[in-house]
Structure 1
Amino acid sequence: MRYRVKILHPDTGITALTVDALDEVEAATRLKREGAQVLSIASEGGRWLSPRRTRFALSLFTQELIALLDAGLSLTEALETLSEKETRTESRQLIERLLATMREGRPFSAALATHPQAFPALYAATVRAAENTGDLSPALSRYLSYQNQIDTVKKKVVSASIYPVLLMGVGTLVIGFLLGYVVPRFATVYVDAGRDLPWMSQMLLAWGSAVERHGKWLLVGAVVAVAAAVTAFSQPATRAAATRLAWRMPAIGEHLRTFELARFYRSLGMLLRGGIPIVSALGMVSGLLSAHLRSGAAIAMEAMRRGESISAAFESGALTTPVATRLLRVGEKSGRMGEMMERIAVFHDEEMARWVDWFTRLFEPLLMVFIGLTIGLIVVLLYMPIFELAGSIQ
């Protein structure tokens, strides 16, 4: 990202310049090393007009790092190679900062933890476990497989929701056009005709007359309402309230719980296969859970510290389903708990995919029927006086 900086330098005095840096801290630190005192710093183009920050390509970085490690390079040499070949300024600076942290004697996982905006906590935890066992490349491969599976599930949900959202958007536009343009025109015609109208037609045409008289204010009110809704949903508190409401819905809430548990079990299984103890791994992945299940993770950790089995602890924390409970007991007997948790995640992912497919198959025709009936009702109410007039002529 580019920053406009005003500095005070002993040789040049007060000067203004543009600096490419990962963030404001990076830009200020670099200038201070050169002996300059930073007076002010701002992103180029201002807060609203500045270019959007480039997202760090974590999957590509991990794939390239695995390839270099498997080729025989040390971790430092692999990072230096990635830094040299990186063409994007921000990504190159991020890798250089990782190298600088490691040259200070800190481990790779600690360097990753200092950049949570690019490296999730689960990624750093995976690397931390691999540092204890010495199998960094296989651990990164497990994380890459985990992320690909999570992305696959998300893509299924998103692709299934595209058509209903598109249908709702088009239906809203058509209904808005009828209510905002067609109905006011009919209202003018019927007022001039001076005929008695059915009650529902009168209500519809009263709306049309209101739009005709106060159309600009209604448009401004609609824009303000949409802006207020967008602003409200950008706030974490509003999103949390919407999530709580969705969790209380009888059919949807249970499947949201299943979706979260699938991601929870997949993350936990990956950490267990990496060699992290169950209590530590549970503490690392509890942040992935919503508030409804996070308290259950705390209850499960406390139960395991008291010596209870994993299946019993998870059951006491309401972190299981009937299938998960049975498979956890099998994992306790076989000693392959990490593998068993990943099997639980696969089962629930497939269950979620089937439910999403069933729900979209049912919801799409119902939505089409609702939009069609709404549009048809508006049209019938508009033309009902004409039908009555035609009947009186006959």
Structure 2
Amino acid sequence: MAAYQYQAVDAQGRKKKGVVDGESARAVRVQLRSQGLTPLVIEAASSAKVATEQKQGKRVRRIKSADLTLLTRQLATLIAAALPVEEALRAVAKQTNKNNVKGLLFELRSQVAQGYSLSESMSGFPRVFDDLYRAMVAAGERTGNLDLVLNRLADYTEQRQQIRMKTLQAMIYPAVLVVVSVAVIVILLSAVVPQIIAQFVHMGQELPLSTRILIILSDGIRNNGWWMALLIVVVIMAVRSALKKEAIRMRWHRQSLSLPVMGRVISELQTARFARTLSILTASAVPLVEAMQIASQVLSNLYARSKLIFASESVRKGNPLLSTFSETGLFSPMLLQMIASGEQTGELEQMLERAADFQDREFSYRVSIALAIFEPVLIVTMAAIVLFIVMAIIQPILALNNMIG
């Protein structure tokens, strides 16, 4: 059977579209009519079409992390129940009601039915199944522990999603605080301050320095506000364009690891991801050097990635794992000691997993500390700006009262 995409209308004239599998387009047409649908378009959802779209530069839609976790967990459960991979894919496809996930699973099933392995079938969808995912599936197929590997993958995906959500939730309040504070200051300078300051200007009296500065800022925002906003947008776009160049992005990523507080946070996040990925790969019977190369590819920091790729080559040449990791300068002393202990006792996978848990806790702790420092600093800064505005308005009033007195 193969996967087919269809467009049809029901008895009420409403359009329907989705993905089903069938022996042929004619069999799919009969199947749709038996469901009360009138087929309009039926076409094969072939991997050749996906490959053509990739060569033409079209983006292949990703699926959500939650959907990937769910289908991975379901596949693991069905395969553990001794169900063939082809039937497991079909069962999970029928279970989901999301067309993009259903089409993906039907296409994988079609490839498996043609004799390809599951990992080979997944290679046609690199935006859904990354190098780590495919390497682990291939290792599970070689060792006969595919269900265990898929369960580890599901746990790994869930953990990454939880870390991402915690980080986003922690950043919501500071981001809202910054936006509200900037908006309040802009409104004060562009709408409120000019009306108050105009009264003093008409009197012709000499204004204090703070008031004159406030007038300059207010006039600048009113007269050039849109140009300033456009300049900010242009700068942001220029920075993003520059960071697309690998050499510039490499330098930026290297400098980001040297930042006072955030540098350590970024480093610990990268090493935690590397340690957990390496733990999963080695536990899935992937050779250590190959596992290190794959694990390094999941890092978002190019400088850290290059250092760890070089470390994998060093290990390939026979150098000890501990000294190789120490030379990168990325790992904390605690993590290095745990790796050394695992290497000596032969329990490297367990120690790497514990090290990853430790690094995740350190990451959460440092993010909390960074936000705890950032929030009061931001509040004090905004309060100082508002105080300056208030004092710049009050000083001419006090001066006028002294003149009248």
TM-score, normalisation: structure 2: 0.80
Alpha-carbon shift at residue 356 of structure 1 (Å) = 1.6
Q: How does 1:321-340 map to 2 (within 5 A)?
A: 321-340=332-351
Q: Which amino acid aligns with 2:226?
A: V
Whether the aligned pair in 1 keeps the contact of 2:265 and 2:367 (CA below 8 Å) is: no
Q: 1:144 aligns with which of 117, 135, 154?
A: 154
Q: 1:348 aligns with which of 337, 353, 359?
A: 359
Structure 1 residue 93 corresponds to structure 2 residue 103: yes
Residue equivalent to 1:379: 390
Q: Identity of paired residues, percent?
A: 28
Q: Which amino acid aligns with 1:109?
A: S
Superimposed CA distance per residue, residues 214-273 of structure 1 (whole angstroms, 9 cap, x where no aligned partner): 3xxx24324423433553465443893654443232332122111110110000001011
Residue equivalent to 2:226: 220
Task: Output the CA distance in 1 between the equivalents of 2:215 and 2:44.
Answer: 60
Whether the aligned pair in 1 keeps the contact of 2:80 and 2:147 (CA below 8 Å) is: yes
Q: Which 10-residue stretch deviates more, 268-277 or 77-86?
A: 77-86
Task: Output the CA distance in 1 between the equivalents of 2:161 and 2:205.
Answer: 61
RMSD, aligned α-carbons? 3.2
Q: 1:237 aligns with which of 244, 264, 272?
A: 244
Whether the aligned pair in 2 keeps the contact of 1:188 and 1:209 (CA below 8 Å) is: no
Q: 2:284 aligns with which of 241, 252, 274?
A: 274
Change (3 A) 1:242 1:312: closer
Other structure's SS at 2:257 match: helix
Residue equivalent to 1:306: 317
Other structure's SS at 2:391 match: helix
Task: Output the CA distance in 2 between the equivalents of 1:199 and 1:326.
Answer: 60
Residue equivalent to 1:26: 49
Whether the aligned pair in 2 keeps the contact of 1:187 and 1:206 (CA below 8 Å) is: no
Whether the aligned pair in 2 keeps the contact of 1:184 and 1:211 (CA below 8 Å) is: no
Other structure's SS at 2:103 match: helix
Other structure's SS at 2:244 match: helix
Whether the aligned pair in 2 keeps the contact of 1:299 and 1:316 (CA below 8 Å) is: no
Residue equivalent to 2:19: none
Residue equivalent to 2:36: none
Task: Output the CA distance in 2 between the equivalents of 1:151 and 1:342.
Answer: 17
What residue ranges of structure 1 are gaps of 5+ in the alignment? Answer: 4-16, 31-40
Whether the aligned pair in 2 keeps the contact of 1:62 and 1:144 (CA below 8 Å) is: yes
Q: Which 10-residue stretch deviates more, 269-278 or 383-392?
A: 383-392
Alpha-carbon shift at residue 320 of structure 1 (Å) = 2.9
Residue equivalent to 1:358: 369
Whether the aligned pair in 2 keeps the contact of 1:76 and 1:99 (CA below 8 Å) is: yes
Residue equivalent to 2:145: 135
Q: Which amino acid aligns with 1:55?
A: I
Whether the aligned pair in 1 keeps the contact of 2:257 and 2:263 (CA below 8 Å) is: yes
Other structure's SS at 2:296 match: helix
Residue equivalent to 2:184: 174
Q: Which 10-residue stretch deviates more, 161-170 or 275-284?
A: 161-170
Residue equivalent to 1:155: 165
Superimposed CA distance per residue, residues 111-168 of structure 1 (whole angstroms, 9 cap, x where no aligned partner): 1121011112211111011011111111111111122222222233222222111111
Structure 1 residue 191 corresponds to structure 2 residue 201: yes
Residue equivalent to 1:55: 63
Task: Output the CA distance in 2 between the equivalents of 1:210 and 1:342.
Answer: 56
Count of aligned residue pairs for this structure pair: 360
Task: Output the CA distance in 2 between the equivalents of 1:81 and 1:157.
Answer: 35
Change (3 A) 1:245 1:113: same
Whether the aligned pair in 1 keeps the contact of 2:51 and 2:124 (CA below 8 Å) is: no
What residue ranges of structure 2 are gaps of 5+ in the alignment? Answer: 8-39
Change (3 A) 1:2 1:292: farther
Residue equivalent to 2:20: none
Residue equivalent to 2:13: none
Task: Output the CA distance in 2 between the equivalents of 1:300 and 1:373.
Answer: 49
Q: Which amino acid aligns with 1:220?
A: W
Alpha-carbon shift at residue 24 of structure 1 (Å) = 11
Whether the aligned pair in 2 keeps the contact of 1:266 and 1:342 (CA below 8 Å) is: yes
Task: Output the CA distance in 2 between the equivalents of 1:129 and 1:153.
Answer: 26
Alpha-carbon shift at residue 292 of structure 1 (Å) = 1.6
Change (3 A) 1:338 1:382: same
Alpha-carbon shift at residue 2 of structure 1 (Å) = 11
Whether the aligned pair in 1 keeps the contact of 2:275 and 2:352 (CA below 8 Å) is: yes
Task: Output the CA distance in 2 between the equivalents of 1:260 and 1:143.
Answer: 18
Other structure's SS at 1:250 match: coil
Task: Output the CA distance in 2 between the equivalents of 1:158 and 1:320.
Answer: 25
